């Protein structure tokens, strides 16, 4: 497995690979890897000649400095895990390497970044779009792999790729879950025993919502989900929205539209935020 800390060194290696027509799959991460990340590596390995993974804790997507400080950094372990998955190359730049000068780009995503996560984490998605665009410019992959757990982020990245006319295929990958249904996340290790036990309610509530959606009104479904999760003294729903997948706008009345509907949720376990989602009509 090759490792690179500078764009120049990575680009030199990538140019050699592309000169012999190697197809590049790319998995951008912020490290603290778990099996959800590794599933992206495995899928990319199946579909490309070479797989590049990046590890970079992107400071401009954190709207709270304390969250940036608390984000786990486990580079040595991450590199071992990637080597075991036969990842071909890892790019782990410094902040100065990624941002030699302050970034001033401001994207206009319409309502995509104003709702749900965007409402509670202002500026977050602009920071995500900037770093992903910069990584795409550096790696110039043929395909890039993202987990469906971060559904709103996935829609933002698709929109950015379209806006920038980038020649990269965005590949959504299934959410990987713990045995009790909790979506895998780097934040899960910060949960205490009681929080971790009750966090399985999130997936249970989403499955309930999917079942109820066929026979109940949207507001009733939202109320039932909120009540179920908030019954735990260790959890509190920050938002639960049932949205059209293409626009992320809330479903008010089900009507005759046939576009995909997704239930998206954020739950606070103390100071730890957990997000998840589920498609309702697949």
Residues annotated as part of the active site: 37
Among candidate residues 61, 108, 44, 55, the one with its CA nearest the CA of residue 79: 55
Residue 29: other Cβ atoms inside 10 A: 22
Report the alpha-carbon angle 97-100-102, nearest 5: 130
22's tokens? 């190697």
Neighbours of 276 (CB within 10 A): 24
E strand map for 138-271: 143-147, 169-173, 236-244, 261-269
Distance CA 137, CA 135 (A): 5
Query: What's the full length of the chain, in residues?
Result: 282
Contacts of residue 115, Cβ cutoff 8 Å, sequence gap at least 6: 152, 241, 243, 248, 249, 250
Phi, psi of 212 (to 5 degrees): -70, -30
Residue 271, C-beta contacts closer than 8 angstroms, at least 6 positions apart: none
Cα maximum dimension of the chain: 58
What tokens appear for 66 in the block?
A: 């304390």
From residue 45, alpha-carbon distances to 17, 86, 92, 144 in Å are 15, 8, 19, 12
């Amino acid at each position: 497995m090759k490792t690179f800390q500078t764009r120049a060194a990575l680009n030199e290696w990538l140019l050699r690979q592309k000169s012999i027509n190697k197809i590049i799959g790319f998995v951008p991460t912020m490290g603290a890897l778990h099996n959800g990340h590794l599933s992206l590596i495995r899928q990319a390995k199946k579909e490309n000649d070479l797989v590049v993974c990046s590890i970079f804790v992107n400071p401009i997507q954190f709207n709270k400095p304390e969250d940036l400080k608390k984000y786990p950094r486990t580079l040595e372990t991450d590199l071992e895990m990637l080597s075991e998955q036969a990842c071909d190359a890892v790019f782990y730049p410094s902040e100065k390497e990624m941002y030699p000068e302050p970034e001033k780009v401001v994207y206009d995503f319409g309502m995509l970044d104003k709702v749900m996560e965007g409402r509670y984490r202002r500026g977050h998605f602009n920071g995500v779009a900037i770093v992903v665009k910069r990584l795409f410019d550096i790696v110039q992959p043929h395909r890039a792999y993202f987990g469906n757990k971060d559904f709103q982020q996935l829609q933002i990245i698709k929109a950015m790729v379209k806006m920038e006319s980038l020649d990269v295929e965005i590949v959504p990958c299934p959410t990987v879950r713990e045995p009790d249904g909790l979506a895998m996340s780097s934040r899960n290790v910060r949960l205490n025993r009681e929080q971790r036990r009750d966090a399985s309610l999130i997936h249970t509530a989403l499955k309930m919502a999917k079942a109820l959606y066929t026979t109940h009104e949207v507001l009733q479904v939202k109320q039932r989900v909120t009540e179920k999760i908030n019954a735990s003294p260790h959890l509190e729903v920050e938002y639960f929205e049932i949205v059209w997948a293409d626009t992320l706008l809330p479903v008010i009345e089900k009507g005759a539209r046939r576009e995909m509907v997704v239930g998206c949720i954020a739950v606070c376990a103390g100071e730890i935020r957990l997000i998840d989602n589920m498609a309702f009509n697949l």
